[in-house]
Amino acid sequence: MKIYEYLAKDLFKKNGIPVPQGYLAQSIEEAKKASEDINKPLALKSQVLVGGRGKAGGIKFADKSEEVPELFNQLLKLEIKGEKVEMVLLEEKLDVQSEFYISVVMDRSAKMPLIMASTEGGVDIEQVARETPEKLVKYHINPLEEFFPYQARDIAINMGVPNPLISKVGSFIWRLFNVFMKYDATIAEINPLVLTPEGLIAADAKLEIDDDALYRQRELASFETEKKDEFAYVKLEGNIAVIGNGAGLTLSGMDMLKLYGGEPATFLDIGGGASQDNIARALNLVLSNPNVKVVFLNVLGGITRADDVANGVINVLKDAEREVPLVIRLTGTNEEEGQRILTEAGVSYETSMEAAAKKAVEIAESL
């Protein structure tokens, strides 16, 4: 379960991690009230459950309260990686002197929590790991043993933190690890942890909770604000929309397209038990993307029935506002009935993912 930044910061604050003064706003009136209460230069931060909001223009800065309404409206018009901005966190703009990165993630290969920390905060940690790996400290924690403050200070020393800050940065690392364990998290992250004239403060907060542990986390039950769409959807840069029933199958379809020289325009996983309505909704979503020239529907029916897929496809084609070539790989449960429905409607299909992917690329290249 992903948690919005403002909620993660509430949890951090309750557990002794300093965060900026901030207020959540969903209307201009609330935004104005927040700016008056803070009465300092502001950071306006879109509240979305996806990464990359800064690069997408999802964070604005206002030096004067008069600038807030316009900036607030700009943010509410944004859609970041398919997620519409509906809430904005207004915070005091921090006077940043330096930035650090600290996180705790569950390392499934090692079967234990992994602390990662760096003096290179505020940038993609993947970039740090790739370009300056020596600046990224990694430290596994045995979950059956206590994690002591002195160990956190050792991590700060290995990061290269200046001597006056070692104890303070170590305290943040220790407290973040405790948050990770207390809430059954899969990731707890502060990026950046910033040094200001007033001290260290968590400028950002990321917290994701293990869904299988939510029965233990009664406090978080009301925080489950993520929209429970029946599929996962990500826009990409290509022109062939990829829809599959299962993340692995969808990714395999994307890989097959790349193998034949195509470029995916979407990753859309409709899940393992998709209904006719869900199929139709998924198709309508990708068809609304003007970059999509071809749709590659890759279905291997298990729980998902091939006849439901076929009926969902036919319903969309009847009412679609624009005609886009559709390439279907359809096999599995009730495949004969599903294939019959498509054939009677004059819609072609393939039973091989390789053949369907190749056909989709050929069509896209011919347009």
Catalytic machinery residues: 101, 189
Which of 1, 13, 80 shows the shortest CA–CA distance to 47?
80
Which of 61, 80, 69 shows the shortest CA–CA distance to 28?
69
Using DSSP bridges, classify how beta strands 185-196 and 98-107 pair: parallel, antiparallel or unpaired.
antiparallel
Q: Is the peptide bond before 192 cis (omega within 30 degrees of 0)?
A: yes
* Cα four-point dihedral sign 292, 298, 304, 305: positive
Nearest-Å Rg of the Cα atoms of the chain is 24
* E strand segments, the chain: 2-3, 22-25, 42-46, 59-62, 79-80, 83-84, 88-92, 98-107, 112-118, 136-140, 185-196, 199-202, 206-209, 232-235, 240-244, 264-269, 294-301, 326-332
* Cα four-point dihedral sign 300, 302, 306, 308: negative
Distance CA 155, CA 114 (A): 12
To the nearest 10°, the Cα dihedral for 36, 42, 46, 47?
A: -70
Residue 151's contacts (CB-CB under 8 Å, 6 or more residues apart) are: 139, 141, 174
